[in-house]
Amino acid sequence: MRTVIVGAGLVGLTTAASLRLIGHEVTVLEHAPRVRADGAGIGLWPNALREFDLLGIGERVRRMGEPVDAWFFDAAGNPQRAEEYGPEAYRFLMVPRPELTDLLASTAGRNRIRLGAHVTGFTERDEQVLVHLADVPAGAERPEGTMVTLGGARTRGGYTRVAEGRTMWWIAQFEAGELVGGKRDRALLRARQVAEDGWHDELLAMIAATPEEAILENQVVCVPELPRWTTGRVALIGDAAHGLSPHIAAGGTLGIEDAGVLRAELTGESDPATALARYGKARRDRFAQVRAHADAVEHAQGAAESARRYAAFSHWMLSTAPSTY
C-alpha cells in the first residue's frame, strides 16, 4: 500500500517507520526546508519506547536519554508525590529532541521525506487519495534537576538534564497576558513567579545566561475535540488529532502510540477504511480519558493536588496502554 504522511514531526516520522515495517511504501511530506529538530528534550514513557523497540531503535533511544525520576515541588521547594501510585508513575526517559528526530528520520528513511512540500489539502476517491501541494516549497544546577515546580500566577517551570553535559529549562504560564520585552526577559519575568526566595535561583541564572536566539518560545495551541479522526483513506495522527496543553507532557508519547495502533490495525487488513475506522474509534475513546486527565491536572488547586492528579494520569496511561507489540 502507498501511504502519504503529512508532517515530519516525531509522530509523522514514527508512523512512517512503523508502516514501512508492515510493507507500506511511505512518503513523508514536510513543508519546512529541513526536518525540524527544534526544542531541547522530550520525556518518553514506556508505551512509546515499546514502539521504538519494535522498530529496532529502542536501545539507541534509551542510550541517548537520561532516566528521570520526577518530583513535583511547591513554590517553597517542598517535594510532592502521591505515594498511592508507586514509583513507575513518575519514571520516564528524557531524550534530546534533535538526536531523536535525527534517528527517527533515518529510521523512516531520509529518501522517503520530501522537504519544502506544503500540503494544502486532499481529495479522497474510492481507491485513492490525491494530496494537494502548494507550488512554492516552502551552571550550578542540581544534578537531579527540578523538572516541575508549580508556581504562582499559574506559572510552571523547571529544568532537567537532556543528555551528558546538556540541560534544558522551561517556563510556561496559563493566560500569560500581553507579552512585552525580549524572549529572555519574558522567561525571567515568569521564572521569578515560579518560586519563592532561594528555590530556583539556579534556574534564574540559567535563563539569564541563555542566548536570546537559543530560546524557543511558542504560544501553545490546543486542538479541540474533533468529531472524527478518519475518513475512508485518511487519518489524523499526533498533535493534528489531539494537540493538548503540554502540562501533561505526553502528547508525543501518545502520538507514538497512535503510530503503533495504526500499524497494528493496518497489518493484514485488506480494507484500509475498516482499519482506519477501528484506529479512529480506539484512539478517540482513549483520548476522551486523556482529555479528562489533562483537564484535571490543569485545574488542580495547589502543588500537592497537581502532583497527585499527574500521577493518576501517568499511572492510568501506563496501565491502560494498548498492547500492539
Ligand X SMILES: Cc1cc2nc3c(=O)[nH]c(=O)nc-3n(C[C@H](O)[C@H](O)[C@H](O)COP(=O)(O)OP(=O)(O)OC[C@H]3O[C@@H](n4cnc5c(N)ncnc54)[C@H](O)[C@@H]3O)c2cc1C
Instruction: Tell me the pairing of strands 119-124 and 113-115.
Output: unpaired
For ligand X, the closer CB: 119 or 153? 119
Interface segment toward ligand X; rule CB under 6 A; list 51-59, 77-85, 245-253, 260-268: 245-253
- With binding defined as CB under 6 A, does residue 11 bind ligand X? yes
- Contact of 30 with 13, CB cutoff 8 Å: no
For ligand X, the closer CB: 173 or 253? 253
Query: CA 229, CA 16: separation in Å to the nearest integer?
Result: 18
User: What is the closest distance, in whole angstroms, from the C-beta atom of residue 8 to ligand X in the complex?
Assistant: 5
For ligand X, the closer CB: 140 or 221? 221
What track of x and - describes contact with ligand X for positions 20 through 49 (by CB under 6 A)?
A: ---------xxxx---x-----xxx-----
End-to-end, the C-alpha distance of the chain in Å comes to: 21
Q: Which of 15, 8, 53, 74 is nearest to 234 (CA)?
A: 15
For ligand X, the closer CB: 155 or 253? 253
Give DSSP secondary structure letters for 129-179. EEEEE-SS------TT---EEE-STTEEEEEEEEETTEEEEEEEETT--S-
- Measured CA angle at 278 (ends 277, 280), to 5 deg: 65
Size of the site for ligand X (CB under 6 A): 29
User: What is the closest distance, in whole angstroms, from the C-beta atom of residue 291 to ligand X in the complex?
Assistant: 14
What track of x and - describes contact with ligand X for positions 170 through 189 (by CB under 6 A)?
A: x-------------------
- Please pick, from the candidates 65, 96, 158, 252, the single residue that binds ligand X as defined by CB under 6 A: 252
For ligand X, the closer CB: 257 or 265? 257
Interface segment toward ligand X; rule CB under 6 A; list 104-112, 155-163, 242-250, 299-307: 242-250
- Please pick, from the candidates 3, 4, 5, 6, the single residue that binds ligand X as defined by CB under 6 A: 6
- Please pick, from the candidates 238, 260, 272, 280, the single residue that binds ligand X as defined by CB under 6 A: 238
User: What is the closest distance, in whole angstroms, from the C-beta atom of residue 252 to ligand X in the complex?
Assistant: 3
User: What is the closest distance, in whole angstroms, from the C-beta atom of residue 317 to ligand X in the complex?
Assistant: 10
- Residue 182 CA neighbour count, 13 Å, CB half: 10
- Contact of 244 with 251, CB cutoff 8 Å: yes
Phi, psi of 231 (to 5 degrees): -120, -165
What track of x and - describes contact with ligand X for positions 263 through 302 (by CB under 6 A)?
A: ----------------------------------------
- With binding defined as CB under 6 A, does residue 303 bind ligand X? no
3-state helix, strand, coil in the chain (%, to 5): 45, 20, 35
What is the rounded (10 degree) CA torsion for 25, 31, 32, 38? -70
User: What is the closest distance, in whole angstroms, from the C-beta atom of residue 237 to ligand X in the complex?
Assistant: 6
Phi, psi of 46 (to 5 degrees): -55, -30
The contact set with ligand X (CB under 6 A) reads: 6-12, 29-32, 36, 42-44, 117-119, 170, 220, 238-239, 246, 249-253, 255
